[in-house]
Amino acid sequence: MNSLRVIPQAFPGKMLWRKFQILRFMPARPCSPEIQPWSVYDLGFKPLTISYDPATCCHIWNNGYSFHVEFENPTDKSVIKEGPLEHNYRLKQFHFCLEAIDAWGSEHTTDINCFPELHLVHWNDAALEENGLVVIGVFVKLGKHHKELQKLVDTLLSIKHKDTHVEFGSFDPSHLIPTCLDYWAYSGSLTTPSLSKSVTWIIKRQPVEVDHDHLEQFWTLLFISEGEKEKRRVDNFHPLQPLMNRTVHSTFQHDDELNVQVKPKPATSQATP
């Protein structure tokens, strides 16, 4: 897995995001970018330091378009630092973006491959300012059974309907992050409401492996509240976006990579009807 890029995709399920369609035409930092096959190798980027305290994990809830695992972290016991960051950032929540087909759901692509994604959202006191949020993105690859993920999967039945939540403690999300230190980084925005633009994205180069049974359990969650007509939760990913004038940095070199900034190709509209 060498280069981070985007390919045009014509997925049928984008209805969840149509209400945010206008944001695709805004010139400043669209959510998930179209990224060239060349990133800028940055010698100044250190390895990212991740330190999570399982005791800060507090509950899990179904918000109608995803499930969030939430953390109470007022004393900075679960933080990330260094890497491309100038400050410490507290872990707030993590969630998954996926589609009902195993290979789809990417908000980024690499080597023309699509993956579901895990997003770990972090913030500091400048959350509404420039660089106030950091999201670690991890590609999710079908593979072997992930023992640490089983505890989360076992809880999903308790939050099957929208707006349900249960206590969920003593979970360490660092087990979901690959050990490989390589990553890409760029400035962007959230891909879920509130779609804040003050986000540093850190995309891990190595995917995490999970088995099909675990992903299948994610798809049992519902968009609707109890008593309403059943509607399963799928297609909760944002369509891919053009790079605009942003630069994607990487901590590693590969065949297509350049050591100087590459001018992105002209952006093209990717509106969907």
What mean pLDDT is predicted for residues 1-18? 36
- Residue 39 covered by a domain: no
- Residue 75 covered by a domain: yes
Q: What residue numbers bound the domain in which 187 lies?
A: 47-238
pLDDT higher than threshold 70 for residue 267: no
pLDDT, tens digit (0-9, with 9 covering 90-100), for 100-153:
554 455 667 776 667 788 999 999 886 556 678 999 999 988 899 999 999 999
Residue with tokens 């005791």: 55
The CA angle 221-227-231, to the nearest 5 degrees, is: 35
- Residue 21 covered by a domain: no
What is the per-residue DSSP string for 8-76?
A: ----S--GGGGGGGGGGG-SS--SS----S--EE-TTPPPEEEE--GGGEEEEEE-SS-EEEEE--TT-
- Residue 271 covered by a domain: no
Q: pTM of whole model > 0.75?
A: yes
Whether cis (ω within 30° of 0) applies to the bond prior to 66 is no
CATH number of the domain encompassing residue 212: 3.10.200.10
d(CA 40, CA 190): 22
Q: Are 161 and 224 in contact (CB under 8 A)?
A: yes
- Residue 166 covered by a domain: yes
Instruction: Please tell me the total count of domains within the chain.
Output: 1
pLDDT, tens digit (0-9, with 9 covering 90-100), for 47-104:
999 999 999 999 999 988 789 999 999 999 999 999 999 899 999 999 988 765 544 5
- Residue 153 covered by a domain: yes
- Residue 192 covered by a domain: yes
- Residue 20 covered by a domain: no
Q: Are 11 and 219 in contact (CB under 8 A)?
A: no
What mean pLDDT is predicted for residues 241-257? 73
